[in-house]
Amino acid sequence: MEQVLEVYQRPHNPQRPVVNMDDQHQQLIAETRQTIPASPGCAERIDYEYVRQGACVIWMFVDALGGWRNVTVTENRTAGDWARQVQQLVDQPRHAAAERITLVCDNLNTHTLNSLDHAFPQEEALRIARRMEIVHTPKHGSWLNIAASELSVLTRQCLDRRMPEQQRVADEACQWTENRNARQVSVAWQFRTDDARIRLKRLHPDVKA
């Protein structure tokens, strides 16, 4: 936990950006009957019945201090999918001059640099790994991941309705991302290491000399 909190206290540095990453499944749901639009004196009517059309995966990368995020939508969430997302992060024009990118993510077993070896030739995997520093949130500590909060905002503002197709989800998420980036919405993280030692004292035993 302290490692994550210490990372969040680093000053903004485009050459060594701190980027949070998280992902979530999104159900694809289709209507069984056409929605009746609202009219004077009558609210919009949506039938409670629906049809499941599978699911997709939403990937969120966010630079909390830089006011930047990137969202992509894929069909699966394998080690190879994660590796390709990290490759895109490294090759972002925004990070062309970055010496090293600190990636904060949860401790899922596919979220390691070993996944690069399964997805790319050795030379490419090494190129990406040399530009990455991976910092994992602790078990049951996903609330420490700023990208999880950003995914929650995306879900509430953009995806809280039925969407039957993966492309529709991708298009909606893209528009949301462009709007949020244009306004350079940043995140002011207030929880510090000293706060953790007080509020989560049980996790910080007092070691006597």
Question: How far, in Å, CA of 2 to CA of 196, rounded?
Answer: 8
pLDDT in tens, the chain (209 residues): 667 888 888 888 999 999 999 999 999 988 777 777 888 988 877 777 778 889 999 999 999 989 999 999 999 999 999 999 999 999 999 998 899 999 999 989 999 999 999 999 999 999 999 999 999 998 877 778 999 999 999 999 999 888 999 999 999 999 999 999 999 888 877 656 555 554 555 554 554 55
Residues in CB range of 86: below 8 A, 6 or more apart:
103, 116, 128, 132
| Other CB atoms within 10 Å distance of the CB of residue 69 | 24
Would you tell me how many other CB atoms lie within 10 Å of the CB of residue 120?
Answer: 18
pLDDT digits (tens, 9 = 90+) for 69-126: 999 999 999 999 999 999 999 999 999 889 999 999 998 999 999 999 999 999 999 9
pTM of the full structure? 0.83
| pLDDT given for residue 198 in this prediction | 45
Q: How many CB atoms lie within 10 A of CB 119?
A: 18
